[in-house]
Chains A and B, each alone.
Chain A
Amino acid sequence: MGPKSRITLVLVLLGFALCIFIERSGLLSAYILQISMYVGINIILTLSLNLVNGYMGEFSVGHAGFMAIGAYVSSIITVRVFHNQMGPLVFPLAVIVAGIVAAATSFVVAFPSFRTRGDYLAIVTLAFNMIVKSVLENIDALGGPRGFMGMSRLTNLANVYAWCLITIYVVRNFVYSNFGRAVLSIREDEVASNLVSVNTRQMKIMVFLIASFFAGVAGGLFAHVMQFINPRSFAIQKSTDILVMVYLGGIGSIFGSVLGATVYTVLLELLRPLGVWRWVVGPIMLVVLMICRPTGIMGLKELSGLIPREEQVLKEKEGADVVTASD
Chain B
Amino acid sequence: MSLLQIEGLTHFFGGLKAVSDFNLELANGEVVGLIGPNGAGKTTVFNLITGVYKPSRGRIRFDGHDLVGLQSCQIISMGIARTFQTIRLFRDLTVLDNVRLGHFAQARYGIRDALMRSAKFRDEEKRIKDKALELLEAFNLTRYAYVPAKALPYGEQRRLEIARALSSNPKLLLLDEPAAGMNPREIDELLERIAWLKDEFHLTIFLIEHQMRVVMGICERIAVLDFGETIAVGAPLEIQTDPRVLEAYLGKEVS
Inter-chain contacts of B164 with A (CB < 8 A): 196
Inter-chain contacts of A310 with B (CB < 8 A): 122, 125-126, 129
Inter-chain contacts of A323 with B (CB < 8 A): 143-144, 146-147
Inter-chain contacts of B90 with A (CB < 8 A): 184-185, 188-189, 192-193
Q: CB distance B146 to A325 under 8 Å?
A: yes
Interface check A324, CB cutoff 8 A: yes
CA A322 to CA B133, docked complex, whole Å: 12
Chain A interface SS verdict (over half): helix
| Per-position 1/0 for B127-148, Cβ under 8 A of A | 0110001000000001111111
Interface residues of A in 193-252 (CB under 8 A from B): 193-201, 206
Q: CB distance B125 to A191 under 8 Å?
A: no
Question: Which of these, B92, B102, B145, contacts A196 with CB under 8 Å?
Answer: B102
Interface check A316, CB cutoff 8 A: no
Question: Which of these, B52, B93, B122, contacts A188 with CB under 8 Å?
Answer: B93
| Per-position 1/0 for B95-130, Cβ under 8 A of A | 001001111111101010011110001100110110
Question: Which of these, B93, B109, B111, contacts A184 with CB under 8 Å?
Answer: B93
CA A196 to CA B101, docked complex, whole Å: 7
With CB as the reference atom, state the residue of chain A lying closest to B84: A192
CA A197 to CA B226, docked complex, whole Å: 31
With CB as the reference atom, state the residue of chain B lying closest to A178: B107
Report the minimum CB–CB distance from A185 to chain B (whole Å): 5
With CB as the reference atom, state the residue of chain B lying closest to A195: B72
Interface check A173, CB cutoff 8 A: yes
Q: CB distance B73 to A198 under 8 Å?
A: yes
Report the minimum CB–CB distance from B197 to chain A (whole Å): 17
Q: CB distance A198 to B146 under 8 Å?
A: no
Inter-chain contacts of B143 with A (CB < 8 A): 319, 321-323
CA A300 to CA B52, docked complex, whole Å: 29
Interface check B10, CB cutoff 8 A: no
Q: How large is the interface on B (under 10, 10 to 19, 20 to 34, 35 or more residues)?
A: 35 or more
Q: CB distance A170 to B82 under 8 Å?
A: no
Known pairs A178-B128, A182-B101; A197 contacts B73 (CB<8 A): yes
Inter-chain contacts of A170 with B (CB < 8 A): 115
Q: CB distance A173 to B117 under 8 Å?
A: yes
Q: CB distance A197 to B100 under 8 Å?
A: no
Inter-chain contacts of A185 with B (CB < 8 A): 90, 93, 101
Report the minimum CB–CB distance from A203 to chain B (whole Å): 9
Question: Which of these, A178, A192, A319, A321, contacts B104 with CB under 8 Å?
Answer: A178
Interface check B77, CB cutoff 8 A: yes
With CB as the reference atom, state the residue of chain A lying closest to B151: A325
Inter-chain contacts of B50 with A (CB < 8 A): 195
Report the minimum CB–CB distance from B75 to chain A (whole Å): 9
Q: CB distance A197 to B76 under 8 Å?
A: yes
With CB as the reference atom, state the residue of chain B lying closest to A180: B114
Interface check A174, CB cutoff 8 A: yes
Interface residues of A in 282-327 (CB under 8 A from B): 300, 308, 310, 313, 318-319, 321-325
Inter-chain contacts of B92 with A (CB < 8 A): 184, 188, 300
Interface check A179, CB cutoff 8 A: yes
Report the minimum CB–CB distance from B225 to chain A (whole Å): 22
Inter-chain contacts of B17 with A (CB < 8 A): none
CA A319 to CA B136, docked complex, whole Å: 14
Inter-chain contacts of B146 with A (CB < 8 A): 313, 322-325
CA A325 to CA B97, docked complex, whole Å: 14
Report the minimum CB–CB distance from B128 to chain A (whole Å): 7
Known pairs A173-B117, A177-B114, A184-B93; A199 contacts B103 (CB<8 A): no
With CB as the reference atom, state the residue of chain B lying closest to A171: B115
Give 4 A-B pairs besides A196-B104, A199-B71 with Cβ atoms closer than 8 angstroms: A177-B125, A191-B72, A196-B168, A300-B92
What are 13 residue pairs bridging A and B, where the CB atoms are less than 8 Å apart in the complex? A174-B115, A178-B104, A178-B125, A181-B97, A188-B92, A189-B88, A192-B90, A196-B167, A197-B101, A197-B168, A199-B74, A318-B133, A324-B147
The 3 closest A-B pairs by CB, nearest first: A197-B105, A177-B114, A194-B72
